[in-house]
Structure 1
Amino acid sequence: MLKLFPFGEAFDASMGGQVLRGDDSVFDLDLPHYLPEVRLKRRLLEDDHRYYFRGGAQTMQAQWEVLELVLRDLAVSAPEHFSLSQDGDRWNWHNRLLNERLTFRFGDGEGLPQEPLDWAGRQIQEDLVLMSADERSVFVGGQLCFANGWALDDRLGKSFAEIHTRTPQTTLPSVDAGQRLMGVLKAGRTVWRSSWNFKMTDELDLTTRHKARYKADFAARAPLLDAATVGPAVFVRIERQTFTRLPRSGLVLFGVHTYNSSLETEAQDPDRARRLVAVLRGTPEDVRLYKAITPIEGPMFAFLAARAAGAGA
């Protein structure tokens, strides 16, 4: 079942932005899925590095800040799996899950096999995107392997406002709130929120290059679904999104951890099935259309309502 289940008793247009508590980790270790997801990320980066990563000298200060944030966060939150020791600018990293060790000098790229953010991103399940320090919050680089319907090439050089021009009217206030957050976000305080969708695949990489294929598959399969077949065919896709102001460069790190689980798996819990029904019934039409829920909502409602009542469990 999903580690993060952001469905309450009603549709929430704000999607619950809040400041992380002091003992919360910026980067979430979803241990059962860690190895396959990190290995998948590494394969994608090896296959087409430029598509999934953009860095360069203009982002280098921020990249080292991201590396520092990732390693310190993991070493504190999961010391049984990760350890970091330092002797001046000499850093020693041990990732026990991947059985990897690396010693390097902080700030010296010669000791790393990739650029700092690129290497650090290969230690975690999150996608990592950098946004400029000014009020426009322009996308300037990052490592993005598991996006839902977008890619770095689509957004580099575009502002936060520009990339949300297709946002449904109902959720525009949350976009405006996000824009304001970019301007007031303080270093040392990470804000997180969640986002959800329903997909007819559990593929993590749904970046732009896969959009046409996915849409064709959805169009062919969606009309065939009914209450008996929708459970294993549809997946709940959750994003845990974090926003962190980097202290020296001032750039904002946008982190996205994606979780997938089939509707059938989640509906094994009648309370989860009930909450899914409640949120879906309250979701405005423009949001259902935007998320492409409308073509599959009939079978989903029938299936979830039965599970919520305890039938078929």
Structure 2
Amino acid sequence: MAQTVPEDNLFVEAQIVEVSKSTACYFPLMSGRYEVKPGMMPFGTCLGNGQADQQVFQIDDNFTHYRQAKLLARAERLSKYYQTCNYSKAVAGAIARLIINRLTQEHPQYFDCQKLTSKTVKFHSQLTQETLYLDADWQLQQVQGSQVVPPYASILDALATQIQEDLTVVCRGSDGSNWLSAVHLCYPNHWSAEEKIGRDFATIHAPVAGMEKINRRGSAIVNTMIDREPMVRFAWGLSTDTRLNHHPKPPPDISVSQWQGRSFDLLHPQLYLRIERQVIWGLPEYEAALFSIRTYFRDCSLVKKDSVLRSKLYAAIQSMTLESLIYKGLVKSKADILQWLS
């Protein structure tokens, strides 16, 4: 049952990268062009953030806000943000084991995992003070120290609520088919878990302007995601706020116009780069891949003070096709944004 969530909380905004000392900082626009391409590079490639570039899951001093945003989304209606389809117990267990292994390796000060018996694994988060008990198949059995409502529905739901990334899982069938098998998406950027679950790569990305050539190679790209070494890629767009949750459907009692955002005002300019770091980690022995999405915001009023970054941003916006501008919700504001940047 959906719960009424205080409106003020739903509109709370995340901190920008520039005011956080511990947040990784990326600028995936250095080509000066808006391009729709796979853009995959080996995971761990040095991008100027030291240890953070080696981590699948980045923990920074904004953790509390990111977790609160997830709790608010779950409390609104869990099925709006979390879905599974043909998500086998074997794949679910392998994904849980991967996430836990990475968390305990990357952040041993925060996460601990112990095998209590041959049938029980104990995972503890120092950040949330929650303890998860898993069975021999890495399925959730019990939770201690949690006040989360609604209670965790699965191990993926529980683990996703311990981190600052959204999670999706892609699976491949013996016939070469592929489908979105699980998605935990509390920071949606104008797309919906309920609409995408169970669909194949090409269908999921069909609405994205400029994806036609890539979609024709959809199966090959999924094969790369599953069979190759882990990779990282970036996506970016523009936002007029730093709210993590931009689900296309507003919560109850909130108007579409109020919820939507993306309305740039030249007289009172607020503009942010919304950047996603996406890590792809294949599990070929399970015919699956984990795909994590970490969202960051950079303040364009600060970006424009750097002449190089400003020129790259200006050129990238200018290079957008009409179709891309429509998809990104920038048709009406492109001219004003370019005027402000210049």
Q: Establish whether TM, by shorter chain, passes 0.5.
A: yes
The structure with the greater share of residues assigned to helix is 1
Quote how far apart the aligned CAs of 1:31 are: 0.4
SS at match of 1:8: coil
Partner of 2:112: 83
Q: Aligned to 1:240, what secondary structure does the other structure show?
A: strand
Q: Tell me, which stretches of 5 or more residues in structure 2 are unaligned?
A: 1-15, 18-24, 46-50, 144-151
Q: 1:121: Cα distance to partner? A: 0.7
Local SS of the residue matching 2:178: coil
The one-letter amino acid paired with 1:130 is V
Q: Pick from 145, 150, 159: which aligns with 1:120?
A: 159
Aligned partner letter, 2:165: E
- Name the residue aligned to 1:185: 225
Displacement, 1:13? 3.1
Structure 1 match to 2:199? 158
Shift of 1:117: 0.8
The answer to whether 1:19 aligns with 2:42 is yes
TM-score (norm 2): 0.76
Which aligned pairs between 1:188-227 and structure 2 lie closer than 5 A? 189-210=229-250, 213-215=255-257, 221-222=263-264, 225-226=265-266
Residue by residue over 1:164-197, the C-alpha shift from the partner in whole angstroms, topping out at 9 and shown as x without a partner, is: 22232x4433444554220233457222221111
Cα 1:268–1:28 change in 2 (3 A) is farther
* Residue 310 (structure 2) aligns with: 273
CA shift for structure 1 position 289: 2.5
Q: Which runs of 5+ in 1 are unaligned?
A: 306-313
| C-alpha distance 206-136 of structure 1, shift in aligned 2 (>3 A) | farther
In structure 1, what is the Cα distance between the partners aligned to 2:222 and 2:159?
A: 23
Whichever residue aligns with residue 113 of structure 2, its letter is L
Distance (Å, rounded) in 2 between the aligned partners of 1:27 and 1:146: 17
> Quick one: distance in 1 between partners of 2:260 and 2:134?
47
Taking a change above 3 Å as real, the CA distance of residues 187 and 42 of structure 1, as seen in their structure-2 partners, is farther
Aligned to 2:22: none
Calculate the aligned-residue CA RMSD, in Å. Answer: 3.0
Q: Does 1:38 align with 2:77?
A: no
Q: 2:328 aligns with which of 286, 291, 304?
A: 291
Residues 1:260 and 2:297 aligned together: yes
* 1:200, distance to aligned residue in structure 2 (A): 2.5
Q: Indicate the residue corresponding to 1:4 in structure 2.
A: 26
How far is 1:56 from its partner? 7.6
2:80 aligns with 51
Please give the alpha-carbon distance, in whole angstroms, between the structure 2 residues aligned to 1:18 and 1:72. 22
**What letter is aligned with 2:135?**
R
Residue of structure 1 equivalent to 2:129 = 99
**C-alpha deviations, 1:34-71, integer Å up to 9, x for none?**
11111220232133122222248843322222221111
Kept after mapping to 2: 8 A contact 1:66/1:120:
no
Cα contact 1:240–1:257 (8 A) shared by 2: yes
1:32 partner letter? D
Mean CA deviation greater in 178-187 or 114-123: 178-187
How far, CA to CA, are the matches of 2:260 and 2:182 in structure 1?
Answer: 31
Shift of 1:119: 1.0
SS for the counterpart of 1:210 is coil
TM (norm. structure 1) is 0.82
